Amino acid sequence: MGEHGIRPAGTRLEGRVPQELVLSDGSRLVLGSATDEEGARWRRCAGGSTETLSIDRARELAGTEFDGYVEVRVRSEAEWLRALAQWACDEAERLEEEAAVLN
C-alpha cells in the first residue's frame, strides 16, 4: 500500500466520457478540462476533497495497468486545445472579413 492506503493501481474506468479512473481506495483520478476554471490538471477526488496532482503522480497512482490512460487523456486534451484554437482563429478571420465589408 502507498501513502494514504492507496495501492498504486487503478481498478476500473467509469463515469461519463471522458471516464474517471477509480483507484483502489475508491477515490477517482480526473483530468479537468482545459476550459475549467483551474485548467487542465489531474485531480484525485475523494468525498468532498480534491487533491491536485502532477502528471507523474497521476501515472504513479494509476499503476502499470492504467498509466497509459493518463498519457492518452493528456494528449487528447492537448489535441482538443489545438482544435479549439484553430476554431477560434477561423472565427476571428471570418469576423474580420465581415467587418471589412462594413467599411
Q: Tell me the per-residue pLDDT of 11-29, one tens digit each, with 9 for 90 and over.
A: 555 655 567 888 888 888 9
93 in a domain, yes or no?
no
98 in a domain, yes or no?
no
Give the H or E element holding residue 51: strand 49-53
Residue 62 and residue 21 in contact, taking contact as beta carbons nearer than 8 Å: yes
33 in a domain, yes or no?
yes
Q: Which residues contact 36 (CB under 8 A, 6 or more apart)?
A: none
What is the domain extent for residue 65?
Answer: 3-74
Top pLDDT among 86 and 41 is at 86
Place of cell 476533497: 49
Residue 93 confidence (pLDDT): 95
Question: Average pLDDT of 39-46?
Answer: 83
- Cell numbers standing for residue 45: 477526488
7 in a domain, yes or no?
yes
50 in a domain, yes or no?
yes
Whole-number average pLDDT of the chain: 81
The structure's pTM equals: 0.67
Looking at the structure of the chain, the number of domains it has is 1
